[in-house]
Amino acid sequence: MNGRINWHVMSALFTQYERSARRHLLEAMAVYVRVAELGSFTQAAQQLGLPKASISTAVQRLEATLGTRLLHRTTRQVRMTQDGLAFYERSRDLLADVDELQGMFQPAAAALRGRLRVDLPLGTARHLVMPRLPEFVRAHPELEIELGSSDRRVDLVHEGFDCVLRVGTLSDSSLVARPLGRYRLVNCASAGYLAEFGTPRTPDDLAGHRLVHYVPELGTRSRGFELGGAGADGAEGTGRWLPMAGAVTVNNSEAYLAACLAGLGLIQVPEPGVRELLRQGRLVEVLPAWRPPPMPVSLLYPHRRHLPRRVQVFMAWLEEVVRPELEA
């Protein structure tokens, strides 16, 4: 080249370098967001499937690039600095925007890819979603679905869930909630229990019966039997709680239903989860005029301007599956 600079080659090299730098920056931002949300390098490494050293190096290089400290590190905890909090909020939105941009011009039928992590109540997962999930998997075979099912209230952000379905009153003000409807609740007992103890006809009869107590955490106290609906005279119920005796307390819906089937007492549950058992006669509805008030059902997801298309598609499908079982 006789000592002259080939500007076309230099331009191509700079362009390649800039693209590489931007890609590495986005990757570092994604790592930082996960560390910030989990408050742990170790947990972030486990979730991202990377060595802990790589996670630490990525954050250190990011801090060097930005010229500021993003995290306070101690032997016990990792927490964001003020600059780190501001960068976290901008990074979270930017990464969501990038994810959205990548799929913006793809046809609607383009294959969905990536990991999808959701959490559902046990009963909803077992009776409504799992029987229909094969159709969603067949429609989107390149998705990696992680489906948690429990009755505990998961930390959507800390545990990396894309969306969760929750039953009951909401308290997560930092999340976006999409109300879907309400679960109709019924009072049930097993046929064997009623044969032994008789069928309660009014709330006054409950004094001679037992309740299977349900609590979110063992060690806490059940409030008892919830009276709602309209009484036998047509008057609206008070929605009050009636203390009841009971030998068994459980903390998940599967054990709750099993205890009832075993004849250990009355339960109050969403009707879709026991519909078949009622049809078979293994369970019997009691006090239908005093059903508990319906429980709200909501989809929750992180507060983002744009959700990845895979999350939008799954939430639309989930709503389609669940909504027929709900009342307005």
pLDDT of residue 285: 97
Highest mean pLDDT among 14-28, 154-168, 205-219: 205-219
From the list 225, 191, 228, 195, the residue with the least C-alpha distance to 210 is 225
Assess contact for 273 and 264: CB atoms under 8 A: no
3-state secondary structure of 195: helix
The residues, any chain, with a CB within 8 Å of residue 126's CB and separated by 6 or more, are 149, 254, 273
Count, in order, helices (H) and strands (E) of the chain.
10, 14
What residue segments make up the domains of the chain, in order of their start? Answer: 7-104, 114-183+296-325, 185-293
**Res. 87 pLDDT band, cuts 50 70 90:** confident
Q: Using CB atoms within 10 A of its CB, is residue 98 exposed (0-12), middle (13-18) or buried (19+)?
A: middle
To the nearest 10 degrees (0 to 180), the angle between helices 41-48 and 52-66 is 110
By DSSP bridging, strand 114-120 and strand 163-167 are parallel
Taking the C-alpha atoms of residue 65 and residue 78, their distance in angstroms, rounded to an integer, is 20
Q: What is the mean pLDDT of the chain?
A: 84
Question: Within a 10 A sphere around the Cβ of 229, how many other Cβ atoms?
Answer: 18
Strands (E), the chain: 71-73, 78-80, 114-120, 143-149, 163-167, 175-183, 185-190, 213-214, 225-226, 241-242, 249-250, 267-270, 283-285, 295-302
Residues 6+ apart with CB under 8 A from 291: 184, 185, 186, 187, 228, 229
- Cα torsion 221, 127, 125, 179 to 10°: value is -80
Tell me whether strands 283-285 and 185-190 are parallel, antiparallel or unpaired: antiparallel
Tell me if 114-183+296-325 shares its fold with 185-293. Answer: yes
| pLDDT for the residue 104 | 61
Could you give the angle at which helices 253-261 and 271-280 cross, rounded to 10 degrees? 20
Its CATH class, for the domain covering 7-104, is mainly alpha
Domain covering 185-293 in this structure, CATH number: 3.40.190.10
Whether residue 163 is predicted with pLDDT greater than 70 in this model: the reply is yes
308 closest CA partner among 106, 148, 121: 106
- Express each pLDDT in 170-199 by its tens digit: 776 678 889 999 999 999 999 999 999 999
Q: Is 175 left (phi over 0), alpha (psi -120 to 50) or beta?
A: beta
pLDDT 10s digits, 18-75: 556 677 788 888 899 999 988 889 888 888 888 989 999 999 988 888 899 999 988 7
Q: Match 């793809």 to its residue by tokens.
A: 106
Q: How confident is the model at residue 135 (pLDDT cuts 50, 70, 90)?
A: very high
- Distance between CA atoms of residues 154 and 162, nearest Å: 12
Strand partners, 5: none
Backbone angles phi, psi at 187, to 5 degrees: -95, 130
Residues 319, 217: contact at Cβ < 8 Å?
Answer: no
Contact 187, 287 (CB under 8 A): yes
Q: What is the CATH class of 114-183+296-325? A: alpha beta
Whether 194 contacts 206, CB under 8 Å? no
Tokens (6 digits) for 39? 């408050």
Asked if the model's pLDDT at residue 246 lies above 50, the reply is yes
Question: Which stretch, 270-274, 284-288, 302-306, has highest mean pLDDT?
Answer: 284-288
- Tell whether the model's pLDDT for residue 77 goes beyond 90: no
Cα 145 from chain centroid (whole Å): 13
